[in-house]
Amino acid sequence: MKTKFTLLKLYLIIIIYFSIIYNALSQTKYIVNVSNYSFSPSTLTILAGDTVEWHNISGNHNVNGTTGTFPSNPASFGNLAGTGWTYSYVFNTVGSYEYQCNIHPSMKGYITVNAAAIASSVFENKFLSFYPNPCSKILNINYNLHNNIAVKIYNITGTLVLSKQIDLNDNTIDIESIPMGLYIVQFLEDNKIVFSRKLIKE
């Protein structure tokens, strides 16, 4: 009886672990704090389908990312001004976004939304993957694109932390030096993004 209970506990732990990993690798929620006349972080790089949630810590502020204010935004988002609010928005459209606080127009934020999968139908029959994920040290790359590819790894604020050219003779990346956390891995062929995925660095 004790053995069955132990196995059941182990089974539940495994299910919970893989559920956490699955959620981390699919849609992700990013928190932006609003206070001291700033959005923190003010710059984010995310994937399509991710959520950004703003928390007004102090002051009378709002989020205005409407196309009326920023015509180049791919879609509109925003809330009314006030204090102590929480506002969230799911970014489903790829592109570059800008937003501001209407009461304090110098308060600005920027969000880059990358495609969550293959970026062009030209590559829809091509195979590209990396493993393991999560990863602590060596990232292995598998692909059958015609040309050598570039791999770029960004943190959630959009800062490039690692870049490397990959070919069939050298298809690994040592990521041991980058801090633990959530990253976005971009694969480029001929300087065009063909694939973007999230990476958990353990």
Interatomic CA distance for residues 59 and 81, integer angstroms: 10
Residues of the chain with pLDDT under 70: 1-27, 116-127, 145-147
Tens digits of per-residue pLDDT, 148-177? 788 899 988 888 999 998 877 778 899 999
Written as one letter, the residue type at 133 is N
Domains and CATH numbers, the chain: 29-113 (2.60.40.420), 121-201 (2.60.40.10)
- The rounded distance, in Å, linking the Cα atoms of 135 and 72 is 37
Write down the pTM of the prediction. Answer: 0.59
Residue recorded with tokens 């604020």: 157
Tens digit of pLDDT for each residue in 30-45?
899 999 899 999 998 8
Q: From CA 123, how far away is CA 125, in angstroms rounded?
A: 6
Terminal-to-terminal C-alpha distance of the chain: 36
Tell me the one-letter amino acid at 199: L
| Dist. CA 168–CA 164, nearest whole Å | 13
